[in-house]
Structure 1
């Protein structure tokens, strides 16, 4: 009878240990199932930020730029300086946030939006100046102005659109200087923030997987030693001791 009781206790102890292990493994599997959902969640902010980009592009094509230019030079230059100054201040704030590691900042979204805004500001200025005769060759539409702005930032220079007037050339030199100073600094800060976030994520994943492997190894080691730490193992040892005493 003692042997049968010991066998039953051992079986119950083994079942309890297996159930606990299966439950823990099941939790790990649940985390694995939730992993793809967590990886998909960061895409939602990027999709939401695509709306401001669409609004800026639509506003660029709908604004009454024909009212600016040679007809109102003072108003045109004032609006250009104010718009570019606002974009520059916001860029500098985001760059400072990356350097100072400001919490709750989102430079990965804000910096690209501001860079696109600066391109649209220069494109609007080119489109307004192009209405003056002799300023640009080959620039007739707003698409041409945006195309010339992107080509200038990329330093491509196909030669199909050229700045011939003094005002146009001054503006092109201003864009080149602006891109060299501010857009380069913004791109550098953005890449630095992305590398830091990637390193933090890899470190966290390494700690999580290392802790999980350590916990599983410890449980398997306890099971190989006989499961003495479990409730069933304790009862089996006690029953064996009582049997030995009776003998």
Structure 2
């Protein structure tokens, strides 16, 4: 290379996602969140038992952890890690919120004094979001020890979601981008084609 020669800039068009790719990702997110929300409102949570409620919460938390693990793996293999990360957060957080909302509705049905007022599906979701956002209007509060214990679990899980899960997903994006900027991408060509077919 001669001293005055310019290094050609990287092909930015290949680095940027297409409008179709962004639209397809947004559609998948909307459909996933809509399906989760519809399922939440359809489930007969006011007829649940204590064992079913505990099992639902524990299974849901395990499922949430598994979902994050699968999404991190997908981010690390994707040629578009930022889009995958946005999709991961956009589906994981609603799943997490709806899980606790369902638990609160079921708990309020089992123990009517748990929150001082019966909780509808909308009330449960509203209360979950106020706890998650740390707004705490005080119109719905946990009254019994069991309810306060579940709310405490959510608050601790909120810290994990906002801290650890987001950090893991963002870290996966950075690692994937560093791999792409390094000398060659070890990922097989077939995987790139498979990812492109998701558009």
Q: Which residue of 2 aligns with 1:159?
A: 138
Name the residue aligned to 1:90: 67
TM-score, normalising length from structure 2? 0.69
1:69-96 alpha-carbon deviations (Å, 9 max, x no partner) = xxx211221122112211122224434x
Gap regions ≥5 residues in structure 1: 1-33, 204-247
Q: Note the C-alpha offset of 1:120.
A: 0.4
Q: Aligned to 2:34, what secondary structure does the other structure show?
A: helix
Q: Please name the residue that 1:30 is paired with.
A: none
The runs of 4+ residues in structure 1 deviating greater than 3 Å are 92-95, 189-201
Structure possessing the higher radius of gyration over alpha carbons = 1
SS of the residue 1:137 aligns to: coil
What corresponds to 1:209 in structure 2?
A: none
Bigger helix share: 1
Match of 1:119 in 2: 97
Residue 113 of structure 2 corresponds to 134
Distance 2:86 2:166 in 1: 10
Q: Structure 2: any 5+ residue segments left out of the alignment?
A: 1-12, 182-199
User: Is residue 105–residue 120 contact of structure 2 (8 Å, CA) maintained in 1?
Assistant: yes
Matched, 1:65 2:45: yes
RMSD: 3.0
Per-residue deviation at 1:139? 5.0
Aligned residues: 163
Q: Is the 8 A contact 2:64 2:96 kept in 1?
A: yes
**TM-score in terms of structure 1 length:** 0.57
- Give the alignment of 1:42-53 within 5 angstroms: 42-43=21-22, 44-53=24-33
